[in-house]
């Protein structure tokens, strides 16, 4: 997992943007994003709730519930499979990566 504003590294493997919105001030060609599965990102409602002062523990629980939706679960399984066969780098614009949806996803992908 890395911040999308960091330059790409040769060992990044598959670069997957896991934010619903495109990061501010970043040109798409400079990001070197291979996939952008928006269905894996928290809903706008959940994101707004969390950034409005919701606890990380409750956010994590609600987000994991959202990831159980059929399309999200399918994409999560694909991401896990990609990680089993090669390197996957999850990219986010979040400043606090340890308390972000990207951290939750990274843990779920790693198993």
Residue range 19-45, pLDDT digits in tens: 999 999 999 988 999 999 999 999 999
Residue range 50-102, pLDDT digits in tens: 999 999 999 999 999 999 999 999 999 999 999 999 999 999 999 998 999 99
Measured over the CA atoms of residue 68, residue 110, residue 100 and residue 12, the dihedral's sign is negative
Query: CB burial class (10 A; 0-12, 13-18, 19+) of residue 40?
Result: buried
DSSP category for residue 41? S
Q: What is the predicted pLDDT for the residue at 87? A: 97
Cα distances from 96 to residues 47, 68, 69, 82, in angstroms, run: 14, 24, 26, 25
Angle (nearest 5°) at CA 71 between 41 and 6:
30
Distance of CA 19 to the CA centre of its chain: 6
Look-up of token digits 């990219």: 91
Q: What is the C-alpha separation between 14 and 86, in angstroms, rounded?
A: 8
Helices (H), the chain: 28-31, 44-51, 56-66, 70-85, 101-110
The model's confidence at residue 111, banded by pLDDT at 50, 70 and 90, is: confident
* Structural domain boundaries in the chain: 2-110
pTM, 2 dp? 0.92
């Amino acid at each position: 997992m890395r911040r999308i504003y960091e330059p790409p590294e040769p060992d990044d493997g598959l670069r997957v943007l896991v934010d619903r919105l495109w990061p501010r001030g970043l040109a798409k060609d400079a990001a070197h994003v291979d996939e952008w599965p928006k269905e894996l990102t928290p809903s706008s409602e959940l994101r707004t709730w969390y950034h409005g002062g919701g606890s990380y523990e409750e956010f994590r629980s609600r987000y994991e519930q959202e990831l159980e939706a059929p399309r999200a679960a399918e994409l999560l399984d694909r991401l896990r499979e990609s990680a089993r066969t090669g390197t996957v780098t999850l990219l986010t614009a979040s400043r606090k990566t340890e308390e972000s949806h990207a951290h939750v996803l990274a843990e779920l992908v790693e198993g």
